[in-house]
Amino acid sequence: MARTLINVPQKAKRGEVIAIKTLISHVMETGFRHDNMGKAIPRDIITSFVCTYNGEEIFRAALHPAIAANPFITFHTVATESGTIAFRWTGDNGFSQDASAKITVG
Amino acid sequence: MSGPARLSIFAAPLLLAALVSAGAEIALNERRSAYDDMSRDNKAMQDDDTSNPGMLAVLDGEALWAAKAGASGKSCADCHGGAKASMKGVAARHPSFDASAGRPVNLEQRINTSRVQHQQASPFAYESKEMLALSAYVAMQSRGEPIAPPDDPRLKPFLDRGRAQFNQRQGQLNLSCGQCHDDNWGKSLAGNTVPQGHPTGYPIYRLEWQGLGSLQRRLRNCMIGMRAESYAYGAPEYVDMELYLMWRARGMKVETPAVRP
């Protein structure tokens, strides 16, 4: 299981622009490197990140081999209603990790 | 992988080194962490616990702290309670003297002593994911605390040895640690600012490593750069050097887990 760190404000005013920050542990092995014996190290990366707000997709990113280990993704959205902001990372070798945070909008 | 690049970076100071003579220790009020020389972005990464990748390992360490292990069937927490209180300041005063070893031991060795003698489990290897995670978790409990090497006369000969090593020219480049870190800090070395070389943030998340690494890994990097023979992980030479580095940084604040480029 990968470790995640999520930063979503617990409270926001309706219509407020909020920053969301996410961090996940992942090697992001490029597939272009070789080990000490000259053997190719197979690619192992996260390929997709999706954020939903009460079920509706609000942000999506495609990830590629040039992205560093432990990808940090930050973006903004508008606080519209109370509920759940959910995150899913998927990638090579069946990798899938979920996380979520609650937000109260008043 | 970073070997060849590192060598060429370090070859540059040959000239620079020829211009300087053996220097003196940095005045206490002139000391600064390499944090101060980092870019705004790297500082922001270290400052925010949800953007500092070192915190991912701290979460692993927190889980290990609570996990039962070994023949004792006990977790670290079963004996020590919450790390927040029991481990506060512990990293700031290591290496410390260990009577049964008859010499100073660093934080990693202290954790392994507890693991083997008290928990009755097998020791964690140096630089293993587990040791880095646990030492990051333990050391983070000292974040913001001043580095406070024990005032223990038994440490004196080891401290002296560490200082002597720091000032000893070595390797094919015939450089000492002090020539860079005492005499030429703040100057530029192939695009990097030479830091004063303080151990305030270990284990660190280094962007070049794409991961966490111990102080000894950092020291190995510098020794390889000097084209000197590095020691095995946990070697007494490294622990003595760590002891001197902690003494040299006395009073500076612990930053663990720090971020470095």
Q: Which residues contact A91 (CB under 8 A, 6 or more apart)?
A: A26, A44, A45, A46, A47, A48, A63
Q: Assign B145 a pLDDT band (cuts: 50, 70, 90).
A: very high
Mean pLDDT value of segment B61-86 = 97
Distance in angstroms (rounded) separating the CA atoms of residues A30 and A42:
8
DSSP assignment of B172-201 equals TTTB-HHHHHTTSTTSEETTEEPP----TT
User: Smallest CA–CA separation between A7 and chain B, in Å?
Assistant: 6
Mean pLDDT value of segment B75-84 = 98
Pairing of strands B192-193, B188-189: antiparallel
Q: Which residues of chain B have a CB within 8 Å of the CB of A69?
A: 53, 210-211
- Selecting among B76, B177, B180, B222, the annotated active-site residue is B222
Distance in angstroms (rounded) separating the CA atoms of residues B96 and B219:
19
**pLDDT tens profile B150-168:** 999 999 999 999 999 999 9
**pLDDT tens profile A80-89:** 999 999 999 9
**pLDDT tens profile B217-234:** 999 999 999 999 999 999
Which pLDDT score is estimated for B24?
A: 82
List, in sequence order, every beta strand (DSSP E) within chain B.
96-98, 103-105, 188-189, 192-193, 204-206, 211-213, 259-260
Write down the mean pLDDT value for chain B.
Answer: 93
Q: Domains in chain A, please, with CATH?
A: 3-105 (2.60.40.10)
Mean pLDDT value of segment B77-85 = 98
Q: Angle, to 10 degrees, between the axis of helix B3-11 and the axis of helix B215-225?
A: 60
User: Smallest CA–CA separation between A83 and chain B, in Å?
Assistant: 21
**pLDDT tens profile A50-76:** 999 999 999 999 999 999 999 999 999
Q: Residue B237: phi, psi to the nearest 5?
A: -60, -45
Q: Assign B15 a pLDDT band (cuts: 50, 70, 90).
A: very low
Complex ipTM? 0.88
Q: Angle, to 10 degrees, between the axis of helix B156-167 and the axis of helix B236-248?
A: 90
Contact check, Cβ <8 Å, B56/A3: yes
pLDDT at B21 over 70: no
At B42, the amino acid letter reads N
Q: Assign B18 a pLDDT band (cuts: 50, 70, 90).
A: very low
SS3 B233: coil
Contact check, Cβ <8 Å, A23/B48: no
Q: Which residues of chain A have a CB within 8 Å of the CB of B1?
A: 33
Q: Domains in chain B, please, with CATH?
A: 24-48+153-260 (1.10.760.10), 54-140 (1.10.760.10)
Distance in angstroms (rounded) separating the CA atoms of residues A18 and A60:
17
Which pLDDT score is estimated for B53?
A: 97
Contact check, Cβ <8 Å, B60/A3: yes
Contact check, Cβ <8 Å, B50/A70: no
Nearest Cα residue to A69 out of B209, B198, B182 = B209
Q: Is B76 a catalytic residue?
A: no
Give the chain A residue whose CA is nearest to the CA of B208: A68
Which pLDDT score is estimated for B11?
A: 54
Q: Which residues contact B99 (CB under 8 A, 6 or more apart)?
A: none
pTM to 2 decimal places? 0.92
Tell me whether residue B20 is exposed, middle or buried, using C-beta atoms within 10 angstroms of its C-beta: 0 to 12, 13 to 18, 19 or more: middle
Give first-to-last CA distance, chain B, whole Å.
16
pLDDT at A49 over 50: yes
